[in-house]
């Protein structure tokens, strides 16, 4: 039986009336995305048609999911909200703080010791406030959500950018910062700009070596890392229906890499099969009663150009396996000879040192079974591994079932390392090197979603390429980046030329899923007596102090902290890896603020000019000097600033250190919202070329900040070191409520005031 089945039935009970009303108001057939959005309005039944990409809308999500790295800050904020219990079903999943090194048992034991303080804190807070708790080793948040909580037609938010994985079960599931989650936990509306809609029509059928992963790798090539910004991507067509539910999840998961708000698929038979296989027949039965409301209206998919802002066509029959990378998830290369040419031209290492299979993107039973069919062939054909191989199962249920069915044993026979059911290398939790900064240039292939520099192992010289699990397995056996398993042969132990057959696998385990201890702890019915203790001397956890509003007079004489050059993701602003241990301690983790950003003036990282002394130093050190002097600062950036993870630390850390504004050419959606939530100014150049006007010793005056209002650009005076000045216009997307957050110091301050009223 499903968790929260009464809540799910309640959603379905309201859906027909709300969707029918929305269709009447909009005056045309509706996409699935619109049906879910309009049926989750905070005010209930729709009363107006919203303008895509313009109108801010209040929504009422059905549930929230948090992973342990982001849950710390989210729950520290919720503790200030003055609420006795979360208002909607919420879960915490311990998957980020487990480092991959020696193998599952040893790594989990080490994590339970080294991060005991954090795990105990999360468990006690969950118990106190009515939150479901998934223990370390239970699995990766998004796989666990897909197996237990996702349901067609639902809306959820999660404090991780890959929350979008649940779109594989027909949800609108969106990654947010912790402050957004706190709003919903506290019983308030969640605000989102009504998304634009991108339709992806899939025709033909996937077969042979091509996998669902290749669909999203192709979409990433087409749309690039920012092409989906502000939009929901809705997949449809006969090719979509032919994909497995977990395959759909893979495609939706990596939608985060194109900047999409989320991605989703209409309810179909593959979703019903998955629901029944994961002991949720009750959800499938309920969904079947309203199934016409769990997919788009018929005319939408028949004439998509009339209903979507953009339509992309992909013929799955013609789609071939791809490798995306290095250093960005949208640089796509067909497997084989094209890679030989491109790698040679760009000096990418052809030899592959590691293949990694798992992460929230590709860690299902189907993924492991298809990859294991390649591993079994390597054993049968007498092939030795040329690269090392690591496996991260997605959940304890997947791991237990895969072990029962002999799948993990096949990998182990190839000397693969089975890591914990956790994120591991996908988020930098991989103890590959003792000194990653000085590690050698190399290539790895993985089935993860992100491949930014230093993402997996902290080594800036690691060239990471994203592929399907089966291609990852084949390339790991061959040890060459340009190996094409569809055509190329390998020499086995007997000196014979052998070739791989096409991979095979199971959509669902033939003998059903099985697990002894899934790792779930239900909260107490009444947690009012639970005490949450945070040691004042802890280096891992720190109770929060409310942010103080930034005064208008503080926005005069603002110093440039850093002008970031090129890509500046949340990994550059607040690195993961070893820094994850400080995710619950704002002052300590602030010491990594922007240390990965490239200074436009000297092309170095963590080396900026202190305008007070004229000396160069680390970004956090320089900013702490400005803070001590009572001076606010500004960060300037390029396009898609804040791309990547949902981590609100990338906004909270600069705010804590005294950064007042971030001025860029364009923002990634979640990061812009996070800046607003923390009471900062997130601004964009009205004229992008004004980025070039910014000089190293500049001081900024916000001339008309007193007139800060929706749809009204701000005027910024830039004072250069020689006394000359430039005056530029900067845009913003703040509405009245968001300006209220700024004026009160943060969105959380507003929540506290309203709860106290």
Class of residue 556 by CB neighbours under 10 A (exposed 0-12, middle 13-18, buried 19+): middle
Is 647 a catalytic site residue? yes
Is 692 a catalytic site residue? no
Rg of the chain over all Cα atoms, to the nearest angstrom: 25
703 token code pair? 């001339």
201 token code pair? 């029509």
Is 450 a catalytic site residue? yes
Is 96 a catalytic site residue? yes
Q: Phi first, then psi: give them for residue 729, nearest 5 degrees.
A: -100, 140
Catalytic-role residue among 63, 93, 96, 655: 96
562 token code pair? 């850093």
Angle at 739 between CA 734 and CA 742, to 5 degrees: 115
Is 338 a catalytic site residue? no
Catalytic-role residue among 40, 201, 455, 647: 647
Element (H, E) at 667: none
Catalytic-role residue among 359, 633, 645, 646: 645
Catalytic-role residue among 107, 160, 330, 457: 160
Is 649 a catalytic site residue? no
What is the rounded distance in angstroms from the CA atom of residue 443 to the CA atom of residue 165? Answer: 27
Catalytic-role residue among 162, 201, 446, 450: 450
Strand-by-strand arrangement of the 332-334 sheet:
332-334, 322-324, 462-466, 442-446, 352-357, 388-391, 417-418
- The three-state DSSP-derived secondary structure of 505-529 is CCCCCCCCCCCCCCCEECCCCCCCC
Residue ranges of E strands in 402-519 = 417-418, 442-446, 462-466, 490-491, 497-498
Q: Would you give the end-to-end CA distance of the chain in angstroms?
A: 40
| Neighbouring residues of 505: CB distance < 8 A, sequence distance ≥ 6 | 366, 367, 369, 370, 371, 372, 373
Spell out a b/e string for 322-360, using b for 16 or more CB atoms within 10 Å of the CB, else e. Answer: bbbbbbbbbbbbebbebbbebbeeeebbeebbbbbbbbb
What is the rounded distance in angstroms from the CA atom of residue 693 to the CA atom of residue 623? Answer: 22
Catalytic-role residue among 4, 68, 95, 107: 95
What is the rounded distance in angstroms from the CA atom of residue 8 to the CA atom of residue 132? Answer: 17
Pairing between strand 725-731 and 681-685?
A: antiparallel
**Residues noted as catalytic:** 95-96, 160, 450, 645, 647
């Amino acid at each position: 039986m499903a968790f929260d089945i009464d809540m799910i039935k309640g959603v379905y009970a309201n859906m027909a009336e709300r969707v029918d009303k929305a269709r009447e108001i909009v005056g045309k057939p509706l996409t699935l995305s619109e049906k879910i959005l309009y049926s989750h309005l905070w005010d209930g039944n729709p009363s107006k048609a919203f303008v895509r990409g313009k109108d801010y809308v209040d929504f009422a999500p059905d549930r929230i999911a948090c992973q342990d790295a982001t849950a710390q800050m989210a729950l520290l904020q919720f503790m200030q909200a003055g609420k006795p219990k979360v208002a909607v079903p919420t879960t915490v999943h311990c998957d980020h703080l487990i480092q991959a090194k020696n193998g599952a048992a040893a790594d989990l034991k080490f994590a339970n010791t080294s991060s005991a303080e954090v795990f105990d804190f999360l468990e006690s807070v969950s118990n106190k406030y009515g939150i479901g708790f998934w223990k370390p080793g239970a699995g990766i948040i998004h796989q666990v959500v897909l197996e237990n909580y996702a349901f067609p037609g639902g809306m959820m938010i999660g404090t991780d950018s890959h929350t979008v994985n649940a779109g594989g079960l027909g949800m609108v599931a969106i990654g947010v910062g912790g402050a957004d989650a706190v709003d919903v936990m506290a019983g308030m509306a969640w605000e989102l700009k009504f998304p634009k809609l991108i339709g992806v029509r899939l025709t033909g059928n996937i077969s042979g070596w091509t996998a669902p992963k290749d669909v999203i790798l192709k979409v990433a090539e087409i749309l690039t890392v920012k092409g989906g910004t502000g939009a929901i991507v809705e997949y449809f067509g006969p090719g979509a229906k032919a994909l497995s539910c977990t395959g759909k999840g893979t495609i939706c998961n990596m939608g985060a890499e194109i900047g999409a708000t989320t991605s989703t698929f209409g309810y179909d038979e593959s979703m019903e099969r998955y629901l029944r296989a994961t002991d949720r027949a009750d959800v499938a039965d309920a969904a079947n009663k309203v199934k016409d409301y769990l997919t788009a209206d018929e005319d939408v998919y028949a004439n998509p150009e009339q209903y979507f802002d953009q339509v992309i066509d992909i013929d799955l029959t013609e789609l071939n396996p791809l490798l995306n990378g290095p250093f960005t998830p949208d640089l796509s290369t067909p497997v084989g000879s094209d890679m030989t040419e491109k790698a040679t031209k760009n000096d990418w290492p052809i030899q592959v040192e590691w293949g990694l299979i798992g992460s929230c993107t590709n860690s299902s039973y189907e993924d492991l079974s298809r990859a294991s069919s390649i591993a079994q062939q390597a054993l049968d054909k007498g092939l030795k591994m040329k690269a090392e191989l690591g496996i991260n199962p997605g959940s304890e249920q997947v791991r237990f079932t895969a072990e029962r069915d002999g799948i993990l044993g096949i990998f182990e026979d190839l000397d693969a390392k089975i890591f914990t059911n956790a994120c591991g290398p996908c988020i930098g939790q991989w103890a590959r090197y003792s000194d990653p900064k000085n590690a050698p240039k190399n290539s790895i292939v993985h089935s993860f979603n992100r491949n930014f520099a230093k993402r997996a192992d902290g080594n800036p010289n690691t060239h990471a390429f994203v592929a399907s699990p089966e291609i990852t397995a084949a390339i790991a056996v061959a040890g060459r980046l340009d190996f094409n398993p569809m055509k190329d042969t390998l020499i086995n132990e007997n000196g014979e030329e052998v070739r791989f057959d096409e991979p095979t696998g199971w959509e669902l385990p033939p003998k059903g899923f099985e697990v002894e201890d899934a790792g779930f702890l239900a909260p107490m019915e009444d947690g009012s007596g639970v005490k949450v203790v945070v040691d004042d001397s802890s280096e891992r956890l720190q109770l929060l102090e409310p942010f103080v509003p930034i005064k208008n007079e503080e926005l005069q004489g603002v110093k440039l902290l850093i002008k970031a050059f090129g890509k500046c993701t949340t990994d550059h602003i607040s690195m993961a890896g070893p820094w994850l241990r400080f995710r619950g301690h704002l002052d300590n983790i602030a010491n990594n603020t922007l240390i990965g950003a490239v200074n436009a003036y000297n092309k170095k990282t963590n080396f900026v000019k202190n305008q007070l002394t004229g000396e160069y130093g680390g970004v956090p050190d320089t900013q702490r000097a400005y803070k001590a002097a009572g001076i606010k600062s500004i960060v300037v950036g390029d396009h898609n600033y804040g791309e990547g993870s949902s981590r609100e630390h990338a906004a909270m850390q600069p705010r804590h250190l005294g950064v007042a504004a971030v001025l860029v050419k364009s923002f990634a959606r979640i990061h812009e919202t996070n800046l607003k939530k923390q009471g900062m100014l997130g601004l964009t150049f009205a004229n992008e070329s004004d980025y070039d006007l910014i000089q190293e010793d500049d001081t900024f005056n916000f001339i008309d900040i007193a007139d800060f209002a929706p749809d009204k650009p701000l005027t910024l005076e830039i004072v250069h070191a020689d006394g000359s000045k430039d005056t530029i216009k900067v845009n913003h997307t703040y509405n009245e409520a968001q300006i209220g957050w700024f004026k009160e110091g943060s969105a959380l301050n507003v929540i506290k005031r309203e709860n106290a009223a």
